[in-house]
Each structure stands twice: as C-alpha cells, then as structure tokens.
Amino acid sequence: LHQGTRAMSSAVARSLRSAPASARRLPGRAVLSRARSTAAVGVADDAEPQGSLFNPTAEHYALRELCAAFVRDEVEPQALEFNRAERFNHPLFRRAGELGLLGVTVDPEYGGAGMDAAAACIVHEELSASDPAFCLSYLAHSQLFVNNLARNGSAEQKAAWLPAACSGEAIGGMGMSEPEAGTDVLGMRTRAEQQADGSWLLNGGKMWITNGAVSDTELGDRYLIYARTGGPEVKASKAVSLFYVERGMAGFSLGQRLKDKCGMRASPTAELVFENVPLPAANLIGQPGGATVCMMRNLEIERVVLAAMGVGIARRSLEAMNAYATDRRAFGASLRDFGQIQRHIAESYAEYMAGKTYLYQTALGLDLDDAGNRLDTDGVKLYCTTMGKNVADRAIQVMGGYGYMGEYAVERLWRDAKLLEIGGGTLESHHKNMVRDMSQLDAMP
C-alpha cells in the first residue's frame, strides 16, 4: 500500500471510540430466518482476519467493523421503507459523514480518512449488502465528487470545497452523461465559453445524474461538471474541461427528478440544466481541455467500487438462499438436500469468492493518483456486476414465491443489481476497452 494509507484516519478512529459498545463490537452475522429483509446483517464471526486479502491491515479490518455496525444498526432498518417511497435518506447520509465515511480516500487535511482503494471497496461492499441504493448515492458523493476533486483540484479548491463534503454538510455529485452522450462521453454537447475576464458561461444539460436532486423539487449542493471548451478543430480528448458548480448559481436548475426506476429507488436521479451559468475562473478544475485524464482516472476507481457493490449484493443474496435452503423443507427433506438447489448455492459461492478475490487484488494494486489500470478495473466490474445480479437471481429461484416478494431483500437486490451493468460504463464498453488493451499483451498474467 502506498504511503498515506498505512494509518487509519483520525475520523474513523474517533468514530470507533465514540460509538456505543453495541456499535463497536464485531457483530455476528445473523442467520437470516427465511431471509427476511429485516434480518440483521454484519461481519461474519469467521470473517477474514486483518492481514488477509480482504482486510489487508488492522485499519481496514476496523473500518469493516465500523461499516458493518452502521449497516446493522442504521442502514438495514430503513432500507425497505425508503426504497418503497423512492426517498433519499438525507439524515442517514449525514450520519455517514459523522462516522468519517464520506471522505474515505481524502487526505485528513481536508477532513478525509486518508485511506486507499481497498478501504473504499470495503465501505461499498458492506453498504450494498443491505441497501445498494443508499450506497449508490454514497458512491456518487464520495468517489465521483469528493475523490475526483481530491485528485484533480488545487490546494485552494480542496480547502474550500472538501471539508463540508467530507462532513456530510453538503451532498455532491458529478455530471458527465447527457441525453445523447453516454458511452460516447466525448460527444457531449454541454459547453463552457471563456469570457474576456477569464470567467466562463456554462450551457447545456446532464442526464441520469445520481444525487442530482435530494427531493422532487430540490437540487443537491455541489457538482463537478464536464463540459466541452474546445472548438470543432480540437481533438475531442483535448476539448473537455471540468468545472465546479453549486446550487444557487444563476441559470442552474433541476430539469426533472427521474422516478419509477427499475431499481436503486432510494437513490435520487435527475436531469440538470445549465442556462448561461456564470462560473468564476477559480471554478475550473485543472487546465482548460485537460479533463479527459481526470475523467479516465476517476472512472477506474468508480468501476472498482461498482464491482464492490456487486460483491456486496452477491454476499447478501448467498446468505439468504443458504439460510432459506436449510430452513425450508419439501418432500420430507431440507431444500438444500436437492441437487438442483445445491447447484444454485455452490455455483453462487464459487463465483462470489472468485469475484471478491479479483476485486481486492485489483483494489490493492490501484494507485488513486495515477491512471493506466483500465484492463483490470474494467475487468473486475465486468465480472462482479453480472456475478452479483446472477447470484441475486439464483437466490430468488431458490426461495421461490418468498424471494419474489418485496418483503424479502433479494427481490430488491436483484432489481438494484441491473444498474451496475449499465452505470459507470456498460458491459459492452468494458469488452471494447479490455480487448483493445489486451492487444498489447504478449502473455497472460
């Protein structure tokens, strides 16, 4: 691990010390009686110890304990209610800030935890084992806004905008996709024109923006927005810049809150509109035309934590089907005694362990300040997101009618899992990127 991630953040350490004893101790993973969504979740009694691949240091292990207690005591009890209502749980988000989780990869100087990509994966895995929708909003804030700014902003910009984001006082997001520019991101039409005094005027719109709204009528607080600044004669990869935009700026408005989604219903998605939004010169992140490298670097950690979400979904689904298969009896025998059910459970376990191993191996080799890790950051997302969806699907199959009901967690996990194959890069884009990068390999690792 690179220097700076060896010591646990003061924020996480304080959270462990100040939490009640019930939230500090290593919680046993409850056997899910008929896999009801209200059952407890947490770290397994036989969880990998510190120094293992999944918990590389004592700090990582303590972080996992903290996250598991937070999930068990505060995330799990609200998950079903907020998903049914399609509401974002703002108080819970602020609570994550109090625990030091919102800036897990940010230097302590700016209010963060100063940890690494593996730590980010631990948080996303634990949250997604209970509420992937809340985790998606956490991802958009902690990685797409906070980590992005921490890696690409100036010292002055980080000092001005990161502390409130790390504490949970402000909720952030990132705007890249547009109605006609998704995978073809460099085809974006949102444009910023530099003015004579060095300021910028921003025009256009962004679509599918996680945390774009916190209610049906209210914007989030802060965003990093990609916009074209070069003319048609400029190569597309040299024509995109990154800007800081905040609620209350003239011309910045909520186009619409997007509802009735297949899954991730407690994570708000919105359209953002920019009409002659004046931006001070100081709101440009990096150099004009230099944002493509920022985008590619941040996409790598985004894809890794999306893979971690797939691992979390798979873990919870596997626990649910395993417990149900023991509890349920049919034809005078335990359900787990039937070969068809054994195949679902055994294949799910093997795929889950393969994905989790690939995930943490990739995360531990990822330098958040560098780019060039696309083959495995794409590869781990390609594998783990589909794996998570498939394990959730098998859990529903094993549980039959119970698994199909909203009262049981796997139905929600299955719906939530589909987005992971689309957001942060479609499966098809990963295929393209990986095969292109593999053309440079003479032998496989």
Per the CB < 8 A criterion, the answer to whether 240 and 227 are in contact is: yes
What phi, psi does 44 have (nearest 5°)?
A: -65, 150
Burial per residue of 139-170, b for 16 or more beta-carbon CB atoms within 10 angstroms, e otherwise:
bbbbbbbbbbbbbbbeeebbeebbbbbbbbeb
What is the spatial distance between Cα 90 and Cα 143, in angstroms, rounded to a whole number? 18
Residue 371, classified by CB atoms within 10 Å of its CB into exposed (0-12), middle (13-18) or buried (19+), is middle
Q: What contacts 36, CB < 8 A, 6 or more positions away? A: 407, 408, 409
Per the CB < 8 A criterion, the answer to whether 209 and 270 are in contact is: yes
What amino acid positions are annotated as catalytic residues?
Answer: 302
- What would you report as the CA-atom Rg of the chain, rounded to the nearest whole angstrom? 22
Q: What contacts 197, CB < 8 A, 6 or more positions away? A: 281
Residue 28, classified by CB atoms within 10 Å of its CB into exposed (0-12), middle (13-18) or buried (19+), is middle
Query: Which token pair is 85?
Result: 């209502």
- Within 282-345, strands assigned E span 284-285, 329-330, 333-334
